[in-house]
Amino acid sequence: MTMWMDDEAGPLVRPYALTGGRTRSASGETLDLIASVTAIGDPPGGLGPEQLAILRAARTPISVADVAVELDLPVGVVRVLLGDLRDHGLISVTAPNAAGPRPNERLLKEVINGLRAL
């Protein structure tokens, strides 16, 4: 008989089980937390529930960090799963510098000063 320390937690899957013990995808690239992820194409059979959940979440562009929040998984695990999906051509990833212009330093300092004034 299996005993749970916390009945509400249900069955627990360790993060390394989701990635097969890997800390990087096959391509080895690390995805930026604010990179934009978008699902492309139809998912093939044989994907796990986490990969399918990622593809559902990425129907509209979503950041890597938001995918981790949506799936309630560690960012490292999500990066490996996203890398695998990208390697299989199921998602596109747009780097943050290609996503659009970033605010300049002067503007950021003005925002910080405004927040401090509150």
pTM, 2 dp: 0.68
Tell me the helix, strand and coil percentages in the chain, rounded to 5: 45, 10, 45
What separation in angstroms does the CA of 72 have from each of 3, 46, 79, 82, 100? 24, 22, 13, 14, 27
pLDDT at position 1 is 47
How does pLDDT run across 17-49, given as a tens digit for each residue?
666 666 666 676 788 889 999 999 788 888 888
Interatomic CA distance for residues 97 and 35, integer angstroms? 9
The answer to whether the beta carbons of residues 17 and 48 sit under 8 Å apart is no
Interatomic CA distance for residues 5 and 67, integer angstroms? 28
Which of 25-39, 53-67, 95-109 has the least mean pLDDT?
95-109
Query: Residue 118 is encoded by which pair of tokens?
Result: 């509150």
